Amino acid sequence: MDLTNAQAHGRELFTHNCATCHTLAASNAVGLVGPNLDNLRPNEALVLNAIHQGRARGQGQMPANLVTAQDAKDVAAYVSAVAGR
């Protein structure tokens, strides 16, 4: 799959910030703490919401705003484009 520049940047950010906890085949990520994104196949809005809000009502292991601003949008664009594909 050809990625846009934003998605390619999102892939780099995902590798550094998200791959430890999440499974995503496109990034060779096999994390077991967070949901398997290939199974979940979240849309861009859901990924952005998870990034901004964190998960598990603030009691989970995913803190809010691991990446922000355009970086968050790039991660969301990447994950929504490749998850489950």
pLDDT digits over 23-57, tens only?
999 999 999 999 999 999 999 999 999 999 998 76
Model pLDDT, residue 55: 85
Model pLDDT, residue 58: 54
> CA 66 to CA 46: how far, in whole Å?
15
In sequence order, what are the beta bridge partners of 24?
29
Say if CB 36 and CB 29 are below 8 A apart.
no
What domains are there in the chain, each with its CATH number? 5-82 (1.10.760.10)
Query: Is the pLDDT higher at 12 or at 59?
Result: 12
Print burial letters for 17-30: b (CB count within 10 Å at least 16), e (below 16).
ebbeebbbebbebe
The pTM assigned to this predicted structure is 0.93
